[in-house]
Amino acid sequence: MHAAIQAEALVKRYGDVTALDGLTVDVPPGTVFGLLGPNGAGKSTAVKVLTTLTRPDSGTATVAGHDALAEPALVRRSIGVVTQRAGTDPQATGRENLVLAGRLQGLSGTEARSRADALLARFGLSDAAGRVVRTYSGGMARKLDVAMGLVHHPPVLFLDEPTTGLDPAARAGMWTEIATLARDEGTTVLLTTHYLEEADQLAERVAIVDRGRVVATGTPDALKSDLRGDTVVVGLGPDDDPARATSVLRDAGAGEVTTEGRALRARVDDGAQAVPALLAALERNGVGVSAITVARPSLDDVYLRLTGRTLVGAVEAEVAA
Amino acid sequence: MTTLVPHTLHLTGRHVRGFLRQPAFVIVTLVQPLIWLLLFGQLFRGIVVLPGFGAGSYLEFLAPGVVIMTVLFSSGWSGMAFIEDMDRGVMDRMLSSPASRGAMMASSVAYTGFTTIIQSLVIVLVAVASGARFAGGVVGVLVMLVAAVLLAAAFGSLSNGVALLVRQREALIGFSTTLTLPLSFLSSAIIAREAMPGWIQTVATWNPVDWAVTASRSALSADPDWTGIGWRLLGSALVALVLTALATRAFRAYHRSV
Ligand SMILES: Nc1ncnc2c1ncn2[C@@H]1O[C@H](COP(=O)(O)OP(=O)(O)OP(=O)(O)O)[C@@H](O)[C@H]1O
Ligand SMILES: [Mg+2]
């Protein structure tokens, strides 16, 4: 069966910035596909190209069986788009926004109204349906955004960071909706996210994007098992020198040692076996340890290994800013 | 193409609902032309004794001029709604949906036409209430509305096209004021043609703002020059058509920038 979304060697430059640098993805129909990457990786740019908002400098893209460059009008009829920024009219009510979106997608007045009401109910917005969107909370507006992308039952749906700004309960609700779309309605979903958990939970396949290209792609499990061994996280005491502790760990046989504040992360073949030896080596060299944990590799580790950054760190920095 | 008309209707509805939801804006829209009318009416009260002005009161002379100036200034702002849509992400959503580009432009023009008609009628009513008498009657007023709407279509599209190119409030405001103020003073909006210096008369001959003013004033007079009115309306319609088409092409430039 043909891929629902296929992008081949997309390049997009904005002046000196190369936002996409040969990005290639392939999304099978009826699946949820996650694009993971740090800020500025090119996720939104990829979505803009695939949703016909902008043209790439080179490369090809096929969406829902249509060439996104040669037949953008056909692509637009087959896709739902939820952009990273809001896309609703704050001066109109929730229902008016949905009805207008439906009419522009070619639904009749009756169809558009009943579809709007169904979506409002599905996203828990029925009570706010008659209020102008300006008065919505951030989370309500985000739900409406996602609902707007669904009015015409699109076979292919693009969600650019759909859960950013949602509280944990609302995020869980959104995950259920997204999973349902793919499972019960056969919708192909391309989702970008900073949340590894989200990709891990929802996406059958993920692509890790860094500096405009895909640096790894596969199922979350396959990506994780590509990483041999376990991660050991060592919390240092207040007087310890991270640089010194790093060299001690390296001498004791740990790989890929990185520092994050007062914690060191390292990779070992078998955590249970390695911990006593690492602790002994640290103690011998006078490094005090406040905590030590062993973890099976997470997508975050895959990410760190490929991009040299942790996603969790990047998201926290963004939230703090 | 088949979507042009229905999409224009739906999108115009959106603009009109948004307008009616902002009472302050509705009031400004209604009051602003009255301020022009009263201000110029007082300022140039003595001017009727100059050559070139008809026998009637200056208010009768001024009303069509104020109508056209108001329409020009209002439509020059049209692109602000486009920029707001860009800032809110509404533009990007529309452009990745099957919404017709022509309808996005046409609905903005239709909405500008809607406010144009309201503003023009308010001016006419207040002028009549203040004692002005328009010999041209209802037909004269209708011709003036046509001239006003055509001018609004031309400058509204121009403003939208510039908005798509510059994508920035400040730049659009700069463009709009730099264009609309001189164009209204290089026309017979508030002063009779015969009272203008020669070079301004020449410029005015080629100024669509003057076409609209002259056609309106003539239609409202006791003795309209229908040939002159016809040519000027035709010229305005052509300018409006060309500018709307060009502005619709500016969506391409926007696509390249996002
Ligand atoms: N319209 C634009 N004009 C200029 N530069 C742009 C434009 N859009 C994106 N860029 C640049 O392209 C690069 C990729 O941006 P993009 O928005 O695709 O990243 P992202 O992966 O979505 O990041 P985030 O996680 O922060 O949303 C960035 O360096 C950004 O500054
Ligand atoms: Mg983004």
Domain range annotation of chain A = 5-224, 228-296
Ligand 1 contact, A259 CB (< 6 A) = no
Listed in sequence order, the DSSP H helices in A55-165 are 72-78, 94-104, 109-122, 138-150
Query: Which of A76, A83, A103 has its CB closest to that of B10?
Result: A103
List chain B residues with pLDDT less than 70. 1, 44-56
Contact A10, A166 (CB under 8 A): no
Q: Whose CA is nearest to atom 11 of ligand 1?
A: A19
Q: For B1, which residue in chain A has the nearest alpha carbon?
A: A73
Note the residue count of chain A: 321
Ligand 1 contact, A17 CB (< 6 A) = yes
Contact A174, A157 (CB under 8 A): no
Domain boundary assignment for chain B: 4-257
B111: region left, alpha or beta (phi > 0 left; psi from -120 to 50 alpha): alpha
Give the residue with greater pLDDT, A301 vs B162. Answer: B162
| Integer Cα distance of A266 and A281 in angstroms | 14
The pLDDT of residue A86 is 87
Ligand that lies nearest to the alpha carbon of residue A209, given by its number in the listed order: 1
Q: Inspect the interface and report whether the beta carbons of A96 and B94 lie closer than 8 Å.
A: no
The Cα-based distances of A41 to A19, B61, B127 in angstroms read 7, 63, 62
pLDDT tens-digit series, residues A31-90? 999 999 888 999 999 999 999 999 999 999 999 999 999 999 999 999 999 999 889 999
Give the residue with greater pLDDT, A321 vs A250. Answer: A250
Q: What is the CATH number of domain A228-296?
A: 3.30.70.980
Give the residue with greater pLDDT, B166 vs A3. Answer: B166
A79 touches chain B (CB under 8 A): yes
The pLDDT of residue B129 is 86
Pocket test for ligand 1, best of A39, A195, A213, A319 (most atoms within 8 A of CB): A39
Beta-carbon count within 10 A of A155 CB: 19
The pLDDT of residue B47 is 59
Residue B223 in tokens: 């003795």
The pLDDT of residue A318 is 45
Is A261 strand, coil or helix?
A: coil
Nearest to A4 by CA among A145, A201, A188, A270: A188
Q: Could you say which of 1.10.760.10, 3.40.50.300, 3.50.50.60, 3.40.190.10 is the CATH number of the domain covering A5-224?
A: 3.40.50.300
ipTM above 0.90, yes or no: no
Q: Inspect the interface and report whether the beta carbons of A87 and B93 lie closer than 8 Å.
A: yes
A186, pLDDT greater than 80: yes
Mean pLDDT of A295-314: 69
Ligand that lies nearest to the alpha carbon of residue B86, given by its number in the listed order: 1
A204 — pLDDT class (breaks 50, 70, 90) = very high
**Taking the model in full, what pTM does it have?**
0.84
| Integer Cα distance of A110 and A142 in angstroms | 25
User: What residue type is B232 in one-letter code?
Assistant: R
Nearest to A66 by CA among A154, A171, A133, A178: A154
- CA A43 to ligand 2 center in whole angstroms: 5
A311, pLDDT greater than 70: no
Q: Inspect the interface and report whether the beta carbons of A87 and B255 lie closer than 8 Å.
A: no
The pLDDT of residue A312 is 55
Listed in sequence order, the DSSP H helices in A68-108 are 72-78, 94-104
| Integer Cα distance of B138 and B148 in angstroms | 15
CA angle B183, B189, B195 (to 5 degrees): 100
The alpha carbon of residue A241 is apart from the nearest alpha carbon of chain B, in Å, by: 47
| Integer Cα distance of B87 and B105 in angstroms | 18
Atom of ligand 1 nearest to the CA of A209: 21
pLDDT tens-digit series, residues A216-238? 899 988 877 776 677 888 888 88
The pLDDT of residue B55 is 46
- CA A35 to ligand 1 center in whole angstroms: 14
